[in-house]
Chain A
Amino acid sequence: MKKSRIIMILGALLPLMLFVFPLWNITLEAPQYPTPLGMDIYINDFADANPHDIKNINLMNHYVGMKYIPDAIPEFKIFPAGVIITTILGLLIAFKANYKWYLYWFILMVVLSSAGLYDFYLWEHDYGYDLDPKAIMKFTNPDGSVMGFQPPLFGTKDILNFRAHSYPQLGAIFMGLGMALSFIAFFVGKKGK
């Protein structure tokens, strides 16, 4: 079998690790939390980093009127389906199509994961800004606008007494690796031509 094909197969399979490892993690640090509060985001679940973390994040956040982190969101159905479909597609391409299709698969994956990230951003924004008007504590920015509590999409940000970290996890890394492999497969295939 051609080298490029093998690389493409591997690349198409790696995103399946999203069913094992979390996609993203949000961690909240504060002096009163020597063990930080954390939430692992899987493609089909929100999970406690340590037992009861989500319950405790909800308890904290209700003071400023943030909604409870939902048990389930529609994405938990769409994302797994998306991963399975793109994997099957990738495998079909690997076995049946020529190397140019590797690049198309790669582009498809870039588009889909960007859409996923944008969706994540929208949820975060809603979570951070759509506050209960009867919130116990209301904060305003220096310009008088209502302060939002949106966690960062990527990186670290101070929100009141918390320092919020938001970073991709193993699942996302495996997916990125798979995408990179498809890209490499394209070049390897092109060279072999």
Chain B
Amino acid sequence: MKKISYSILTLLGLAMVFTSCNQQGKSASNGALSSNAAEKVYVAPGEHDEFYAFMSGGFSGQLAVYGLPSGRLFKVIPVFSQDAEKAYGYNEETKPMLNTSFGFVPWDDAHHPDISQTNGELDGRYVFINGNNTPRIAKIDLTTFETTEIIEIPNTAGNHSSSYVTDNTEYVVAGTRFSIPVPQRDMPINEYKGNFKGALSFISVDPEDGGMDIKFQVLMPGFDYDKAHPGRGKSHGWFFFTTYNTEEANSLLEVNASQNDKDFIAAVNWKKIEEYVNNGGGTIMPTNYAHNVYDEHTQSATSTMMKEVLMVNPSEVPGAIYFLPTPKSPHGCDVDPTGEYIVGSGKLSANVTVHSFTKMLDAIENKKFAGDAYGIPILNFEDVLAGSVEQPGLGPLHTEFDNKGNAYTSFFISSEIVKWKLGTWEVVDRQPSYYSIGHLMIPGGNSQKPFGKYVVGMNKITKDRYLPTGPEVTQSAQLYDISGDKMELLLDFPTVGEPHYAAGIPADLIKPNSKKIYNLSENKHKYATTSDADARVERNGKEVHIYMTTIRSHFNPDNIEGVKVGDKVYFHVTNLEQDYDVPHGISMIGANTSELLIMPGQTESFVWEPKRVGVWPFYCTDFCSALHQEMQGYIRVSPADSDIDLSWSLGE
């Protein structure tokens, strides 16, 4: 009996040892795994991220700057939407940036950021991004991280197959998603077919100062031009556009534009058209669009209305444009780093179709055409097909590339990223996304030189991934490690607006060029006050101009009298600081506008129209110094008919 109970006890004891061992083993390995992912995204306090990620703000109209791998948000760059925080679109200097042929449009839908390139590699000078709704292309200068140019795109609606740059940033391309009557006219909608047109715009970029100019537009058949990608390396000189609605339906497109078994990828030989145009080709067409430029010296934007555009009809340049049949309403149009493969993701197709640039040239050479659409030759699907990734998932959208011959395609419906091999078309890995991924981004992943360490997935649906914030939850992105054979999900992070596309770049290509201050000695603002001695107030009829300076910790002047009800008072405030990260803000009680946030060496202006008699304060809004709370002043507002002279002072 005793023996038995001893052995039972021993067994129990052993069992306990085993179980506890097991449990310990399990929790330890879990811990090791998760801490491994945590370590990979952990950027210690004071350390810098390895990559910048410029992520479109979607319907916020802005561009957000994140660090990778941490997913930390650094700045929201205002582009197409007013931003009261930074006075963008509110102050006198930047209001012209949002001017269009429709007047002041303070919002847009920002989609596809793309970084400027030299020799097919990221050069970190500019980011371009498209405004989808009121067609515009913006340029952000990466020394200041400010929007410095916006050009409106005429004859375009739904500026979606935009804003991708060629190998040497010769062109930024903007394609129309919606075909429209060109020029616009009053006509029945149901006469769409054959009458509506789609314009593809080639915007040249000055190699010296980055100035944009619409060099020419190509007037294409009335399809929807969805996405675009320039040729790279061997296919440099060509541009590829996916199309849908080749049915040319004008209503219930979800059914009527999904009937054709194949739509097209349009291959456009822009070098050939450029040559044609340089030799005097094309037709000057009257139009009206805004070209807005922010001058870094005057620190002010101007808006110029442009009155004509050079239009090229495909029939004028035979051999410049071809259609590559591509299954089922292709969305993403992506070219691999070598320039050989053109990936068209038929979003309603079960397969991902890949065309061969070499085979395309060969088919063109041998004139193997299957017919034409509005005079544009259609190549045979089989003649240009390099291969297809069979049944990789549902709802393929976009593809990016690493530097090891792999492609990564996002699948909206099956909510995953699928990694596959270029050339063999075999699927090698898949990872779920949470949820319903749209675009994905590998830094440099659409250039000739990808940095294949991470892929960022930008998701369309967030649901339960974060703490809930009512019916509207955060937008979201996910970071995966792709340095190994298998992808590994590392991090979820919230994003601003709906992130569409993003552009990533090694931080070292941008960081050394980032400006710290604006040099006061280079300030050419019309209303700059670069020394305290010049601080003053001037009256010009009902207009009052305050030439004000600010430096820790006062405004000069800070007592102003002689302003009257009915005046239009301009504050022109110059920040005399020349130290890194010492902006000053200013706000005036009752001003029908935003604050100003003025960087060191900069001048900004806002307008205040005093409506009530009294003594009204203004103050600094950016906690600038130990005496920030003392940074305040008063303006005396007298009745409209008073005869008090203008006077101003500081410290009297």
Seen from chain A, the residues whose Cβ lies within 8 Å of a Cβ on chain B are 35, 51-52, 55-56, 59, 63, 136-137
Dominant SS at the A interface? mixed
- Contact A51 B627, beta carbon cutoff 8 Å: no
- Contact A56 B578, beta carbon cutoff 8 Å: yes
Q: Which chain B residues border A55 with CB–CB below 8 Å?
A: 578-579
- Contact A51 B578, beta carbon cutoff 8 Å: yes
Q: Which chain B residues border A137 with CB–CB below 8 Å?
A: 626
Instruction: Show 17 A/B contacts (Cβ-Cβ < 8 Å), sorted by A.
Output: A35-B580, A51-B578, A52-B517, A52-B578, A52-B579, A55-B578, A55-B579, A56-B578, A56-B579, A59-B551, A59-B552, A59-B577, A59-B579, A63-B626, A63-B627, A136-B627, A137-B626
Task: Give 5 closest A-B pairs by Cβ, nearest first.
Answer: A52-B578, A56-B579, A55-B578, A59-B552, A136-B627
Question: Complex: how many Å from CA A59 to CA B577?
Answer: 9
Question: Complex: how many Å from CA A137 to CA B579?
Answer: 21
Please name 15 further chain A to chain B contacts, defined as beta carbons within 8 Å, in addition to the given A52-B517, A56-B579, sorted by A numbering. A35-B580, A51-B578, A52-B578, A52-B579, A55-B578, A55-B579, A56-B578, A59-B551, A59-B552, A59-B577, A59-B579, A63-B626, A63-B627, A136-B627, A137-B626
Question: Complex: how many Å from CA A34 to CA B577?
Answer: 17
Question: Complex: how many Å from CA A55 to CA B579?
Answer: 9
Q: Contact flags (1/0) for B537-560 with A, using CB distance below 8 Å?
A: 000000000000001100000000
Q: Which chain A residues border B551 with CB–CB below 8 Å?
A: 59
Seen from chain B, the residues whose Cβ lies within 8 Å of a Cβ on chain A are 517, 551-552, 577-580, 626-627
Q: Which chain A residues border B517 with CB–CB below 8 Å?
A: 52
Question: Complex: how many Å from CA A51 to CA B601?
Answer: 13
> In angstroms, how far is the closest chain A Cβ from the Cβ of B216?
44
Question: Complex: how many Å from CA A190 to CA B363?
Answer: 96
Question: Complex: how many Å from CA A55 to CA B601?
Answer: 13
> In angstroms, how far is the closest chain A Cβ from the Cβ of B447?
33
Q: Which chain A residues border B626 with CB–CB below 8 Å?
A: 63, 137
Question: Complex: how many Å from CA A52 to CA B580?
Answer: 10
Question: Complex: how many Å from CA A73 to CA B626?
Answer: 31
- B601's nearest neighbour on chain A, judged by CB, is A52
> In angstroms, how far is the closest chain B Cβ from the Cβ of A63?
7
Question: Complex: how many Å from CA A48 to CA B137?
Answer: 42
> In angstroms, how far is the closest chain A Cβ from the Cβ of B522?
12
Question: Complex: how many Å from CA A59 to CA B551?
Answer: 9
Q: Which chain B residues border A51 with CB–CB below 8 Å?
A: 578
- B576's nearest neighbour on chain A, judged by CB, is A55
Question: Complex: how many Å from CA A175 to CA B468?
Answer: 71
Q: Which chain B residues border A63 with CB–CB below 8 Å?
A: 626-627
> In angstroms, how far is the closest chain B Cβ from the Cβ of A62?
8
Question: Complex: how many Å from CA A190 to CA B580?
Answer: 58
> In angstroms, how far is the closest chain A Cβ from the Cβ of B116?
28
Q: Which chain A residues border B579 with CB–CB below 8 Å?
A: 52, 55-56, 59
- B551's nearest neighbour on chain A, judged by CB, is A59
> In angstroms, how far is the closest chain B Cβ from the Cβ of A100?
54
Question: Complex: how many Å from CA A35 to CA B577?
Answer: 16
Question: Complex: how many Å from CA A59 to CA B626?
Answer: 12
> In angstroms, how far is the closest chain A Cβ from the Cβ of B519?
8
Q: Which chain A residues border B627 with CB–CB below 8 Å?
A: 63, 136
> In angstroms, how far is the closest chain B Cβ from the Cβ of A176?
35
Q: Which chain B residues border A56 with CB–CB below 8 Å?
A: 578-579
Of listed A52, A55, A136, residue having the most chain B CB within 10 A: A52
Q: Which chain B residues border A59 with CB–CB below 8 Å?
A: 551-552, 577, 579
> In angstroms, how far is the closest chain A Cβ from the Cβ of B379?
59
- B626's nearest neighbour on chain A, judged by CB, is A63
Of listed A35, A59, A137, residue having the most chain B CB within 10 A: A59
Question: Complex: how many Å from CA A136 to CA B580?
Answer: 23
> In angstroms, how far is the closest chain A Cβ from the Cβ of B533?
15
> In angstroms, how far is the closest chain A Cβ from the Cβ of B623?
13
> In angstroms, how far is the closest chain B Cβ from the Cβ of A32?
9
- B552's nearest neighbour on chain A, judged by CB, is A59
- B519's nearest neighbour on chain A, judged by CB, is A51
> In angstroms, how far is the closest chain B Cβ from the Cβ of A129?
22
Q: Which chain A residues border B578 with CB–CB below 8 Å?
A: 51-52, 55-56
